Chain A
Amino acid sequence: MKWVLVMEGLLLTIPALAIEPDDPVAQDHWAWSELDAPMLPKPEGFRIRTPVDNFVFAALAGEGGKAAPEAAPQALLRRVHLDLTGLPPTPAEVEGFLRDPDDEAYAKIVDDLLSRPQYGERWGRHWLDVVRYAESKGYERDEYKKFVWRYRDYVIAAFNEDKPYDRFVREQVAGDELADASLESQIATTFLSLGTFDTIAADREVAIYDTLDDMVGTTAMAFLGQTLQCARCHDHKFEPFSQQDYYRFLAAFESLDVTSKERQLGREEGKKRHREEEERYQKETLEPQRASEERAWLPILSRWQKDGLPEGRKAKLDDKQLQLTIEAISLAPDKRSKEHRHMLEKERKRVRSAVREGATEEERRRLSEHEQKLAAIEKAKPQPMMGWVYPDRGPRPKATHLRIRGDVHQKGEEIAFGVPVILDRGTLPEPRPTDHSAGRRRALAEWIVGPQAPLAARVMANRVWHYHFGRGLVKDGNNLGLQGGAPTHPDLLDWLANALIEGGWKLKPLHRQIVLSSTYRLSASHPDPESDPDNALYSRWPLHRLEAEAIRDSILAASGKLNLQMKGPPVYPPFADKVVGASSGADWKNSTEEEASRRSVYVFAKRAIPLPELAVLGNPDSSCSCARRTISTTAVQSLLMLNGRFVNEQTMHLAGRLGEIDGEEAQIRAAFDLILCRPPSTQEIGEAQELLARVAREKKIDPLASLALVLFNTNEFAYR
């Protein structure tokens, strides 16, 4: 089991493949086996609402445990709103539910939340973690990757329309190779190009293979939950993946040009259509409006030619130019000479300001109207559809070679495209070359979500569970290998995976099974927590930290400043320390306050300088796929939340909002409703009143802002 490697005069002993694919340990590994179709257990004495409860409560009953009581309606409502949309319920929504908190009303609310566009923003953001989303290249220069945001919008739309997950996978891995490839599916392949790239690497080959390595690693982790990346330089030490397995997989991607940049998307027809649209716009929209502006010029120019300019006005055209312009306007477009056209095109701006010189006040007003109309029309000019996707080099890629010890300059044996032996069930389709590529990525994608797709379904079902409950049934969603550990509820995981496939790979039905369950509705308190000290059995709601984005967005929602505009290029909230530690801070622009108050998923994701409000609170480093965010608790976070400019500004906005309400007690109630989504207790009202009285000593700060700051910093606010 050992082989010896001579390396720069150094003798290293590296174990060969630690586990062979035919080892029983590998053969019997739960995650690689076919999906079970588990029977629904029937635990006694629990309120069963969906099959999720059958499994969870059966396991709980098996340990002699008891479920916590159900959460109070307001707690449940806050939980499910934040879970499905990343935003808190409004006071009116809380009030509505409190009036009518029964199952039917709750189910309606769930359906409503799943149909809101904010659902896609919330769950799309989860997916962006998995695919290491960022909009810059990283490394020394950290250049902006233009149009990567189209992929963010694609993901949000995919979640909102409940695009079947198998289709979602096919589009991201091979959207350009599909028979029904579209602009949208081509944008989806931005997935492949989200990684870092060192544009000024000392060794460009190394940079290219590092980027391909990122592609292999992310694809294997995101869709298969496997740590194939570890087999780049040598056989995997803990999993039955050989170095050959790694390069088989790499062959799917090797022909992508990872050094390319943004380019026009679409096939030839689409590009032709764009050219036609552009012509049509020119003819039918732009030119008529220009002609109408020109007609407004004509009397003014004629008067100028006849009577001269009024006293004190400057002649911005000479006589010849004036004559040419008047002629040009009077002639039909196809009768104009080159000189004529020159005046109306290249010199248009000068002519425009020359006309103003000759115009009366009334005429100037009308000229301005023309100019505004024209400016609006120019804004609507059809733009080519650009995207940041890697082009494929063609239907006949070069042979893939194993690289000895991962050294790109040391080619080893030739390797044919394929999948890791341990995962191969003979279901990998033969690649069908397209006009621009070998079709290997499509074959790979078909295999990932193919008829027997235990891994793809298990991995995604586990992710869905993870984001609902703050932890997975398998704890590391990117590792369902031998080292990943067993699921806490294997039958439940397989049931969810089956349900995902049987439901046509749609996620929304799966969400319903989960959030409508009794398990999901349990209180975070339990009369006897020690019976399940770590809550491994879900005997109570697993309280967990809100993500950075949900914290920031909830603050904006409470302050009333949240701007729900969707889509488009990223926004740039103000950033005080951006100069620190970045040789490439130049592309952090300044958005208006309104723009900056959009949801966090739209904030510019720059690798070298992430927005502190997000990075300090745990938005992941985008160097590689992230299945679960690390939760850290630091004083730097506390300082940010207590003293930071963003939070303090929002407390001022919120104070303004509260100030419109009459009476201190009502203001306190409203603050609790907006921030914690529940009414305060009598005692809390008293304590808040006491604070308001004490902090009135601050002349420049509204006491209500000081109260809001306390509420934004509570654990209750930061946990769900």
Chain B
Amino acid sequence: MNRPASSFHFSCGRTRREFLWQAGNGFFGTAMAWMLARDGARAGGITPSAHFPARAKHCIFLFMVGGPSHIDTFDPKPVLNKRHGEDYDFKPAQGVSQKGKGKLMGSPFKFQACGQSGIEVSELFPHLREHIDEMAVIRGTKGDSAAHGAASLQMNTGFVRQGLPCLGSWANYGLGSPNNNMPGFVVLVNGAPYSGAQNWGAGFMPSGYQGTVLKTSGTPVPNLVPAMNRSRETQRDQLDLLARWNSEHQARLPANSELAARIEAYELAYRMQAHAPEAVDLSRESESTRKLYGIGGGDADRFGKSCLMARRLVERGTRFVQLYHSNWDTHGDNDKRHQKLCNQTDRPIAGLLADLKARGLLEETLVVWAGEFGRTPVGTGGRDHHAAGFSTWMAGGGIKGGTVQGATDEFGFHVTGGEAHVHDLHATILHLMGLNHEELTYFHSGRDFRLTDVFGKVLTDIVA
């Protein structure tokens, strides 16, 4: 739509940031930069930028689909272990726990105090726990739904409904993308999450803010390789003629930022064809690096590759990378399956933290680990959905390592103190990226929307 450029925004309470994006842009920065130059010259524009200095330029969000058990990983419960097998009835927690009554189920996994901080982590993560002093373990995490679909949406968008923009969209909306050749929000899927693409959707924001799914094998970006394989020379010839015809078309018309942005998008697409394959080409990594991530056959191979790809993307300026790993929904055979799932992710995540640190990237990259919820302390063999109290963690950019936020009761059911609602995680992540969650708003359907709705507080205890 050919929107008037200056008569349109502040009148309806929109921020300039929004206006610029709506006027014809996407997650690729170049076209935007062009518009900013043009528009800024005219109206004294403000570039999208942080509200205050950022602690983290990038975020890697490791999403454990299905809901990992906090009781078997980051939240030791000796009392629960001792009373294993007893019948127990927790106070009802309607909607936030699938099972509050039944036999207590202890964890067979041994916990050990790790690092300088002495935080206890289970033997399921032998490599990851070596990095405990970089991590803030949030044992008092809480969400609003114990249903996969709704809870996944909440972990990503703050709302249990669909149709809202996700964290990665908000971050790029707030900060723009630092790389002109690559998308600012990339999603790597190793097992699809519940509610599908809604998890990385832009909701009511322009579609350009949605996550770009890079495949973890084959062609990484959709349509990066022509459906009919023409040579790069031929493509260049076509794009040259396209550019010529487009500029002749534009010359016949009054200045129009959209037309210009569209011309630029083709050049960006051409550059992406050259850059994206390199960005995700893991064969350029040394054998020792690959090994660090657990690549080389074996359980950890697949997720290791995704983690390594995440590092390469962050290195190249991608603002937000989200990795999905599934499926932690261990209703049956909880212990054996957790063993396997942890084998698949332990080395990759530990390798990612080590590698980021060695390259000096960890201090500017926030790493977040979370599922949509945790699992119940009652069950026989399996554990059910539990959002009333579970564990997540963050490390890197701006995080005070070796800290614990909050706690659950002796069974791991209710949060007893230091509650960190999903909204608080979001507020904290935005804060570390330099954004005030109360000021980052988007006007839609008659009101300003926030990632944190009317909630959220920054978890200052885990901020360095």
Residues of chain A at the chain B interface (Cβ within 8 Å): 12, 138-142, 196, 198, 200-203, 206, 210, 217, 221, 227, 229-230, 236-239, 470-471, 475-476, 478-479, 481, 483-485, 524-526, 529, 533-536, 540, 542-545, 576-577, 579-584, 607-609, 612, 615-616, 618, 621, 623-624, 628-640, 642-645, 647-649, 652, 684, 687-688, 691, 694-695, 697-698, 700-701, 705-706, 709-710, 713-716, 718-719
**CA separation between A524 and B254, bound complex, in Å?**
8
Docked-complex contact B95 and A581, CB < 8 angstroms: no
Q: How far is the CB of B97 from chain A (nearest CB, A)?
A: 9
Stretch with Cβ within 8 A of A (4 or more), from B111-119, B265-273, B354-362, B389-397: B265-273
A-B contacts besides A238-B446, A621-B201, A695-B230, 11 pairs, CB < 8 Å = A140-B148, A202-B146, A210-B161, A543-B256, A584-B196, A608-B196, A631-B3, A632-B25, A636-B183, A701-B228, A713-B266
Q: Inside 8 A of A196's CB, which chain B residues have their CB?
A: 161-163
Q: Does B208 contact A (CB under 8 A)?
A: yes
- Please tell me which one of the listed residues A230, A607, A639 contacts residue B224 in the complex, with CB atoms under 8 A apart: A639
Q: Inside 8 A of A581's CB, which chain B residues have their CB?
A: 187, 189, 192-193, 196-197, 199-200, 213
Q: How far is the CB of A630 from chain B (nearest CB, A)?
A: 4
Q: Inside 8 A of A221's CB, which chain B residues have their CB?
A: 445
**CA separation between A540 and B160, bound complex, in Å?**
45
Choose among A210, A535, A542 the residue with the greatest number of B CB atoms under 10 Å from its CB. Answer: A535
Q: Does B13 contact A (CB under 8 A)?
A: yes
Residues of chain B at the chain A interface (Cβ within 8 Å): 1-8, 11-13, 21-22, 24-28, 31, 94-96, 98, 145-152, 160-163, 183, 187, 189, 192-208, 212-213, 215, 221-231, 233-235, 237-238, 241-242, 244-246, 249-250, 252-256, 258-259, 261-263, 265-266, 268-269, 272-273, 385, 445-447, 454
Docked-complex contact B233 and A691, CB < 8 angstroms: no
Q: How far is the CB of B52 from chain A (nearest CB, A)?
A: 24
Q: Inside 8 A of B147's CB, which chain A residues have their CB?
A: 140, 198, 200-202
Docked-complex contact A526 and B446, CB < 8 angstroms: no
Docked-complex contact B203 and A633, CB < 8 angstroms: no
**CA separation between A636 and B182, bound complex, in Å?**
10
Docked-complex contact B207 and A640, CB < 8 angstroms: no
**CA separation between A227 and B12, bound complex, in Å?**
14
**CA separation between A475 and B4, bound complex, in Å?**
11
Docked-complex contact B26 and A634, CB < 8 angstroms: yes
Q: Inside 8 A of B227's CB, which chain A residues have their CB?
A: 643-645, 647-649
Closest to A484 in B: B12
Docked-complex contact B195 and A643, CB < 8 angstroms: no
Docked-complex contact B194 and A140, CB < 8 angstroms: yes
Docked-complex contact B196 and A534, CB < 8 angstroms: no
Docked-complex contact B258 and A634, CB < 8 angstroms: no
Docked-complex contact B226 and A643, CB < 8 angstroms: yes
24 contacts between A and B (CB under 8 A): A202-B95, A206-B95, A475-B12, A479-B446, A483-B12, A535-B254, A580-B197, A582-B196, A584-B196, A608-B198, A609-B197, A633-B31, A634-B207, A635-B26, A635-B28, A635-B266, A638-B265, A638-B266, A638-B269, A694-B234, A697-B233, A700-B228, A705-B228, A714-B249
**CA separation between A713 and B267, bound complex, in Å?**
12
**CA separation between A217 and B2, bound complex, in Å?**
28
Closest 4 A-B residue pairs measured CB to CB?
A: A227-B446, A623-B163, A140-B149, A534-B4
Choose among B207, B229, B246 the residue with the greatest number of A CB atoms under 10 Å from its CB. Answer: B207
Q: Inside 8 A of A643's CB, which chain B residues have their CB?
A: 223-227
Docked-complex contact B265 and A715, CB < 8 angstroms: no
Closest to A528 in B: B254
Closest to B263 in A: A715
- Please tell me which one of the listed residues B8, B24, B95, B241 contacts residue A632 in the complex, with CB atoms under 8 A apart: B24
Q: Inside 8 A of B226's CB, which chain A residues have their CB?
A: 642-643, 648
Q: How far is the CB of B90 from chain A (nearest CB, A)?
A: 16
Q: Inside 8 A of A471's CB, which chain B residues have their CB?
A: 1-3
**CA separation between A638 and B262, bound complex, in Å?**
8
Docked-complex contact B234 and A543, CB < 8 angstroms: no
Docked-complex contact A615 and B256, CB < 8 angstroms: no
Q: How far is the CB of A456 from chain B (nearest CB, A)?
A: 18
Docked-complex contact B2 and A544, CB < 8 angstroms: yes
Q: Inside 8 A of B235's CB, which chain A residues have their CB?
A: 642
Docked-complex contact A202 and B203, CB < 8 angstroms: no
Docked-complex contact A525 and B254, CB < 8 angstroms: yes
Docked-complex contact A479 and B445, CB < 8 angstroms: yes
Q: How far is the CB of A527 from chain B (nearest CB, A)?
A: 10
Q: Inside 8 A of A229's CB, which chain B residues have their CB?
A: 445-446
Q: Inside 8 A of A615's CB, which chain B residues have their CB?
A: 207
Docked-complex contact A710 and B3, CB < 8 angstroms: no
- Please tell me which one of the listed residues B13, B145, B237, B254 contacts residue A202 in the complex, with CB atoms under 8 A apart: B145
Docked-complex contact A719 and B266, CB < 8 angstroms: no
